[in-house]
Chains A and B, each alone.
Chain A
Amino acid sequence: MSAVTHTDRAVVRASHKSHPVVRWLRRNVPYVILVSYCVVVLVPIVWVMLASVKTRREVFLSPLGLPDSIQWQNYFNIFESGFQHYIWNSLVVTIGSVVPMVIVSIMAAYALARRVFIGRKTIYLLIVLTYAIPIHSILIPLYRIVDDFGMLNTYAGLILPHIAIGIPFSVVILYSFFLDFPEELEEAARLDGCSPWRILFSVVLPLSAPAVLSVVIFQTVSVWNEFLWASIATSGEERRLWTNGIMQFQGEYSSDWPKILAVVNLMMVPLLVIYVLAQKHFVRAFAGMGK
């Protein structure tokens, strides 16, 4: 019965074939919309890249034109002003935060997902509750605590809070991965006499690369791009990060756009290149919130 209706409708539809213009629109409007938006995304990025090798005059007079001659000088100027110092600090803080954060999160998530011990539910609940709290919601006491520990203007003062604030997200993602991990594999290893450590490091971890990579990518981008805590926890130049440095530059050389944009470009391009090369993993890392 319904099969007949389907065929009937298809026939009716085929006999009233839409106008060629309508069909052309239907096929091309999606492209027009998406491509226009891609242009909106790309223009500022390309503008930064071009402006970073232009003279000041060119940036203002022909924003999207090519430079007459490439001004590498803009990049040399950054390093003459000592920007490499900020980059170094950012590297130390990012690596120093992400590596331990991921290790302690793997350990905690595995135990919470797979082991039975007192307080397990309470700990997981606390972690879920703080999953999305922004740094400014605990900023004032956190500042005082870090000050009491004498850790203002130190790497530790930057790194330890970053690790802590990254733990809830990492644990939640890894926890849900470990819950779905085939228990039979661990069981087999256990019957073979493996210690729980061996099971984690030789059986579970090698098969957890996608989840771990997602967490590493997400947290590396977050910590590398972080600004608020970095500006509160440091006062002198000594331990400031690149996000502070760029704000400093914007204040000091406010009219020297090429110099500021050379900094933006220098910090933006490596991340964009890594993203394009590993975009499958980036998309999974960010959409992983949706999993």
Chain B
Amino acid sequence: MRPLLASLTGGAILLFARFITAVRAIWEGVGPEPVQRVYFANHTSNGDFILVWTVLPPALRRTTRPVAGSDYWLASGLKSFIGRDVFNAVLIDRRKEARSEDPMETILAAIDEGASLIIFPEGTRNMTEDPLLPFKSGIYNIAEKRPGVDLVPVWIENLNSVMPKGKVIPIPLLCTVTFGAAMRREAGETRETFLARARAALLALKPVGEDPA
């Protein structure tokens, strides 16, 4: 019963996301192939991973898990149903003092089980005028500890205007999700250079001439 309900809810969320955003994938640097990947995306809205999830072909969607904060997704029964049952999210505890397990261990375990991941290396939703915040170290740790996994930058365009923070009703606007070329940590690459390179690769996917406001 619960899996059926989860897949129906998933279908409804997909339909709703398409209705509001008519989201389109642009496979610029990689194709939608069934390869294990860590998709890393810009983070401006709670709906971000839903859009990435929506544009993935169904076979990829089944093996791709978003990494999300357990403090948010376990806060209520409905959220926990959507987070765990519908999206099969890898839930990590962002509160340093309260947590019992290392988030990186949880993430690496999911990779070792063969899952692809969706991560937001900015660590928090970007509320600034800057297009992209500095990256946290998590993506470097993944690249270093699991060097065989491709890291794919994913730029999500326009969703921040669809669903600004604190608003309940979304505004229908066209969104695109652009997938860049896969990257890995090069031998001897330091944390700083890798994080800068990954951030530049993501920023390079942002469409130019946008943001009329």
Same complex = no
A residues contacting B by CB (< 8 A) are none
B residues contacting A by CB (< 8 A) are none
